[in-house]
Structure formats: structure tokens, C-alpha cells
Structure 1
Amino acid sequence: MRVFIAGATGATGAVGSRLVPMLVASGHEVVGSSRSTERLAAIEAAGARGVVMDGLDADSVRNAVLDARPDAIIHQLTGLREQVGDTKHFDQGFAATNALRTRGTDHLLAAAAEAGVGRFVAQSYTGWSNERTGGQVKTEEDPLDSNPTKASRETLAGIRYVEQQTTDAGGLALRYGSLYGPGNDIGRGGEIVEMVMARKLPVVGGGTGVWSFCHIDDAASAAAAAVTRGAPGVYNIVDDEPAPVSVWLPEFAHAIGAKPPMRIPAWMARPLIGEHGVSMMTQIRGSSNAKAKRELGWTPAYPSWREGFRTGLG
């Protein structure tokens, strides 16, 4: 197939940059976009054709897609954000990504319709976006949070939008869990690693918030599988072991050679990390990958974050 990856490179550790060589190795003809001319060389070195495209410019998107004449489009557009640990101003950090999840999605879907593209796959997210009541592990049939924290409302709206528009158009929305691996915030040299090394990421309250992780290469392999497999709908792309903060954070610290994280009560943390940060530490729910395994034929190479933190951080 001829596959167009919107967001084939960008920030180090972006899913698109890992996806290009996987698709090329599978025999697909790949065209990948970047906003920067300087980054086209990386796309072409992986065996694809690189094009410059601004995901927020309708004409730029239309021209790139029509020129590529793809059979499938994979929407991996995200925006760089600063201060990843600033959960008090969560929506501000995701403003660029939210624009790409809304306006960027509209531009890509319009171009896909005009070009007669038969397959559309979009990146989404699962984790804090889950309903924070009921069971500790959610499936795709469970609702998203109906009462999100104030700091995350715009970002959750962006997630809802990309999923609704994609599935209404007959596409697949892949809800990646919390990504880790080379080049990521949760990876060697990443901001989360630095925070844990400096003991600036404590276990808050009981650490009862449940997280689902996904290695960046597993996220890419799921996108590659979705090019040819799976019915329209949403899919959780996570590993096999959702885990509370009280379990995974101390083990993460041990894996990177850091001292055990400190523990502080929620009331003490709230002025520092806000309602959303406390929620991520104490209330959020994990996600099940059963549907993705069953319908995409996908199996994570890192079935547990335990192994991934030891060997897959880069």
C-alpha cells in the first residue's frame, strides 16, 4: 500500500519516526510529512519520501495528500509542549496538540475524502481520560471522564473530537497509553527521568492512580497493524499490566538507579501540582488491550512496563 504519515518525524521519540522504517520494512510505499525541511533527510534515510506540510494549514495538507495519492493515512501529528510536569497548567502544555487533534484532523479528513483514501488511522490517548469511577481497568466500551479536572478539559475535548471525527469517517483511533522509550519524557535523559532522579516526583497520597504504559515501538507497531487490520472504532494500545503509582513509580526509580520516591499527602501536593496532578496520582484508571490484541492481531513486544523500564528506556 501507499501510506501517508502525517507527522513522520518531529520531536525525538515521536511515534511517527519509529513507524516509518516499520512500514518500509513491511513493503509499503511511505510518504511522510514534517513541518521542517531540515527533517526530511531523516524520513528519506528511513526509506520513505519526505514532504513539508503544515498540519494546521488546509491548503498545505490538501496539496500534500493529493500529491501523495495514498491508500491509507496515519495521523500522528502532535505539538511540542514545554514543562511536561506542569499539571497545574495541563491544557496550556497541550494547546498545540489540541489544535492538531481538531483543526488538523479536519484538514486531513477533508483531504482524505477528496483523494479517495480508503483507510484512516489517528493517534489518540488513554489514561487520565478514562472515567474515574468504577473498575480500575477500562475497556473501549467504558465512557471517557464526564467530569474532568478543570486543567484538562480542553485536552479531553480534543481527544473526544479526534476520536469522533475519525470513527464517524470509518477510521480507527488508537488510544496510546503513557508512552515511554528512547527520546520520550519517560526515557533516558527525559524530563520525567530527571524528575525522578532528583526525587521531585513523589508518590502522592496512597498512589492509587492506575496507569497504563506503552513502549513507543509498540505504539508504532500497532499503527502499522492498523493500516491493514481492524474494523472502524477506538482501540486501547497499552501493555498487559496496568499498575498503580505506588507500584510502578518505586520500580521505575530502581530501574534508573534513583533513590526511592518520597511520599507526601495529597493536601500537601495540591498547591504544587493542582487538582489534575493529584488526580493522576490518586484517581485515574488503567486500560485493557484485549480488543487491540484480538482485532488488530497486535502483541506488545514489551508486555509489561517492568521489563520495559529495565531494558527499553534507551
Structure 2
Amino acid sequence: MTKRLFIFGLGYSGLEIAKLAAARGWSVSGTVTGADKAQRLAAEGIEAHLFDGTAPLAARVLEAASHVLCTIAPGTAGDPALRTSAAQLRDMRWLGYLSTTGVYGDHDGGWVDETTPPRPDQSRSIERLAAERAWQAIGATIFRLPGIYGPGRSAVDRVRAGTAQRIDKPGQVFSRVHVEDIAAAVLAAMTHPASGAIYNVVDDLPASNSEVIAYACELLGLPVPPTIPWDEVAPTMSAMARSFYAENRRVRNDRLKRELGVTLRYPTYREGLRAIAAHSSSRA
């Protein structure tokens, strides 16, 4: 089988997926928005094409692909990949789309799974749900992601930078996933194609902001900062930051494990943060 993966959006998650696919023998290419990044990726063996969603890629670019994944967030005009390339995408052997667990909306800390009817409240999640349904309609596998962390984007990094805050909003928890587990889940789905399937790609332990920051401090041997009451910190936060605290849910990942046979490398934030702290310390 020809294994040629094209990724719309070689960002934080997209690039991790690209690197894992390349390591497993796939030919990988994708899109970026800047020429400098395209040149850097070319030096790493990843062919990158400039794409801003306003014009389609050259036909030959997608003609070479067997599998296509989209990681780009939609906007009010819809999904840019579908808007510019829908006709070509329908002929692919496999399609995938990275969505968000935000489509479930607020559940007051209750558990949700893939059978839970979506009820997004926020505009960006409403746009995501519309985009994932459009992708699903042409056979794409949907991956619903929570808060993504990994090297360079974690509580360990924020504590080291002195920007971490322990925010106390009683009962508030977040689901998370390490970027390496996203990549592993996508590669597993590519080898177990199921048209239109939906998978929650999350870890096993939803947790509060304050306990995650406290654990990062413990790993680094630094003092744990006091918690800040939500009512006190909320007025100082951006509208986007406040919006994450407007919803509260726990997300199940049973289908991911059962149908794709995925074993999470980082089943909770503890394993993930330990690995990040150990790796960054070894490079110091």
C-alpha cells in the first residue's frame, strides 16, 4: 500500500503526527502559513506548502496523497480545507479531522463519551461541530481533543517561566492529552479505517488547574504558589481564557482503547509532566 499522508496544518499537533508517521515509513507533506517554516521543515524531510485558506492548493499536491488529515480550526466561513479542496478530498483512501471536546458543551463536571449529544455553547465550538459534521459527511474519522500539552507547552514550562497560576474554581476540572498520544491515536486510526467514526483522544484523569500546577512545582523542587480564588482572577483574564472555565466536564476514552487498541503513553498528567521535566532537565 502506498502510504502518503498530507496534513492541512503542520502546527503543534500536526507536526508531531507528521514526525511519527515519517518514522513509521510514511511519506509526509502538509501546509504551513509561512515560507520560513516551510524551509525549516523541508530540511527535516517534510514537504510543506503555503496555504492560508483563501485559494486551493495546486491539484498535483493532493493527487499525490493517499491519506489526508486536517488540524486547522474553522472560522465563520467554515473549514478552509473543505472550502478549497472538497472535490479532491472525497477521493482519498482515508480522511481525518482534529476537532475538540468543546463540542460537548458544559456538563457540570459530569462524564461524557462519544454517544453524548453535542451541545456547544461557545462560538468556536459551534464552528468546530459544523466542520466536523462536514468532514464526517465525506467519511472522515473525527478526533475530539481536550487541552493539549507537551514539551514547550506544559505546566512545567509555565512554572519554570514564572507565569503559572493556581486558580481555585471549586469543582472545576479539565481533560488533557499529551501531544505524543494524539499522534499515536491518529496513526492507529489510519491503520484501522472506520469511515465517520468519532474518538475522544483524552487521558484517563481529568484534573483541576491547581493540582496540575502543584505537581509541576513538586517535580521542579519549587515552592507551590497559593491558590487564587476564581472571582478574584477572572476579571484579569482574557475573554478566551475565561471561556475555558465556563465549561466543566470529564471525557471518557474507552472507545479509543477498545476499537483502536491504543495504550496511552501518558495516561495521566503525572506521567506526562514527569517526562517533560526529565527531558528538559537533561538538556539544561
Q: Does structure 1 retain, via aligned residues, the 8 Å contact 2:7–2:69?
A: yes
* Residue 250 to residue 279, structure 1, CA distance change in 2 (3 Å): farther
Give the aligned partner of residue 123 of structure 1: 98
SS of the residue aligned with 1:161? helix
Give the aligned partner of residue 7 of structure 1: 9
Q: Does structure 2 retain, via aligned residues, the 8 Å contact 1:210–1:284?
A: yes
* Residue 246 to residue 56, structure 1, CA distance change in 2 (3 Å): same
Q: TM-score, normalised by structure 1?
A: 0.76
Q: Which amino acid aligns with 1:65?
A: L
SS of the residue aligned with 2:182? helix
Aligned-residue identity in percent: 24
* Inter-partner Cα distance in structure 2 for 1:244 and 1:61: 45
Q: In the TM superposition, what whole-angstrom CA distance separates every residue of 1:118-143 from its partner, at most 9, and x where no partner exists? A: 211111122x5433236632111113
Give the aligned partner of residue 160 of structure 1: 129
* Inter-partner Cα distance in structure 1 for 2:246 and 2:137: 34
Shift of 1:257: 4.1
Q: Which amino acid aligns with 1:73?
A: V
* Inter-partner Cα distance in structure 2 for 1:291 and 1:260: 36
* Aligned positions of 1:9-88 closer than 5 A: 10=11, 14-48=12-46, 50-60=47-57, 62=59, 64-66=61-63, 69-77=64-72
* Aligned positions of 1:225-240 closer than 5 A: 225-231=188-194, 232-240=196-204
Gaps of 5+ in 2: none
* Residue 124 to residue 40, structure 1, CA distance change in 2 (3 Å): same
* Inter-partner Cα distance in structure 1 for 2:264 and 2:13: 15
Q: In the TM superposition, what whole-angstrom CA distance separates every residue of 1:194-252 from its partner, at most 9, and x where no partner exists? A: 67x345x232232x222111111111111222222242222111112122334333223
* Residue 61 to residue 280, structure 1, CA distance change in 2 (3 Å): same
Shift of 1:285: 0.9
* Structure 1 vs Structure 2 CA RMSD: 2.9
Gaps of 5+ in 1: 79-96
Q: Does structure 2 retain, via aligned residues, the 8 Å contact 1:124–1:159?
A: yes
Give the aligned partner of residue 102 of structure 1: 79
* Inter-partner Cα distance in structure 1 for 2:191 and 2:84: 23
Q: Which amino acid aligns with 2:207?
A: A
Q: Which moved more, 1:247-256 or 1:213-222?
A: 247-256
* Residue 277 to residue 59, structure 1, CA distance change in 2 (3 Å): closer
- 2:140 paired with 1:140: no
SS of the residue aligned with 2:267? coil
Q: Which amino acid aligns with 1:19?
A: I
* Residue 131 to residue 7, structure 1, CA distance change in 2 (3 Å): closer
* Inter-partner Cα distance in structure 2 for 1:36 and 1:283: 34
Q: Which amino acid aligns with 1:52?
A: H
Shift of 1:64: 2.9
